[in-house]
Amino acid sequence: MRWIRLVFRLPPVLGLVLLGLLVAALRLRRPRGTPPDAGQQAWVRRWLGWAARLLGVRLRVSGRPEPGPVLVVANHISWLDIVVLGAARPAVFVAKAEIRRWPVLGWLSAAAGTLFIRRGGKHAAEGVAQAMRETLRAGVTVAVFPEGTTTDGRQVRRFHPRLLAAAQDAGVPVQPVALTYPHERGVHPAVPFTGDDTFLRSALRILGARGIVAELRFCPALAPREDRRRLAQEAYDCIARVVRARHHPDGGASA
């Protein structure tokens, strides 16, 4: 059955990628360094919503997305997080620079306004933080995964506070979003994208899977504070509570 699902899903997904290339060439063009406008963001959100459906992913959204501009922070499990979060609300994402080099999808990500961060510590973070500030000040929501890496979905790693300074400088709220992919095993086994996994292997695994549900819990927005470490901790606490409740409903283990 897995291969049957993959065979049936692959052609429309490839068709959607071609449509994305066409839309990017005709509708997403803009001056370099300029964030997408409202119409372009709507196109990206619509495309990601179609992608989620064609991949067989059902979205369950709870809580209220804060009207933009806002800095969205979420836990990180897979590249699929970008699809489901972007389908739930328009946002420009911060992603690792390696994605920019991915064939086709890297170009589509750049056309959608993605801000790419290079590995390399303080100076790399400062560069993307400046781009985040400019994007937020332009009235566009930015989404970031402050763990800096993916997990197996059963835990939440410590949030790095550095990039949250962009919200403080721009004077916009921070909204935590908890992502979970519930399954009888805890987390749907097709979803986590960790270790030496490759995008191709992960994509084929998801295309062949059934019953993937993405739950997105929008926590109350946090006002920007002077202490970005406290802000990061409050965002972490809200997301970790949701993940803990999903995987340890009896309150036993901590996230």
97's tokens: 């620079």
How far is residue 165's CA from residue 5's CA, in Å, rounded to a whole number?
A: 44
- Is the Cβ–Cβ distance between 141 and 121 less than 8 Å? no
Q: Is residue 252 part of a domain?
A: no
Instruction: State how far the alpha carbon of 148 is from the alpha carbons of 104, 117, 124, 162, 241, in Å.
Output: 24, 10, 13, 11, 19
Query: Which uninterrupted H or E stretch holds 7?
Result: helix 2-27
Q: Low-confidence residues of the chain, pLDDT below 70?
A: 119-124, 249-255
Q: Where are the alpha helices (DSSP H) in 65-121?
A: 80-88, 105-111
170's tokens: 């721009």
Q: Is residue 171 part of a domain?
A: yes
E strand intervals along 145-253: 174-180, 182-183, 186-187, 212-218
Instruction: State how far the alpha carbon of 27 is from the alpha carbons of 35, 103, 126, in Å.
Output: 13, 20, 30
Chain-centre distance for alpha carbon 27: 22
Q: Is residue 254 part of a domain?
A: no
- Is the Cβ–Cβ distance between 191 and 134 less than 8 Å? no
Q: Is residue 117 part of a domain?
A: yes
Q: Is residue 144 part of a domain?
A: yes
Task: Give the model's pLDDT for residue 248.
Answer: 73
Q: Is residue 132 part of a domain?
A: yes
Percent of the chain's residues with pLDDT above 70: 95
Tally of domains in the chain: 1
* Structural domain harbouring 102: 2-247
Q: Is residue 136 part of a domain?
A: yes
Q: Is residue 177 part of a domain?
A: yes
Whose CA is closest to 110, among 43, 36, 18? 36
Task: Give the model's pLDDT for residue 167.
Answer: 95
User: Which CATH number fits the domain that encloses residue 118?
Assistant: 3.40.1130
Whose CA is closest to 23, among 2, 42, 8, 5? 42
Q: pLDDT (tens digit, 9 = 90+) per residue, 187-246?
A: 999 999 999 999 999 999 999 999 999 999 999 999 998 789 999 999 999 999 999 998
- Is the Cβ–Cβ distance between 236 and 255 less than 8 Å? no
Task: Give the model's pLDDT for residue 150.
Answer: 95
pTM score: 0.93
Task: Give the model's pLDDT for residue 60.
Answer: 97
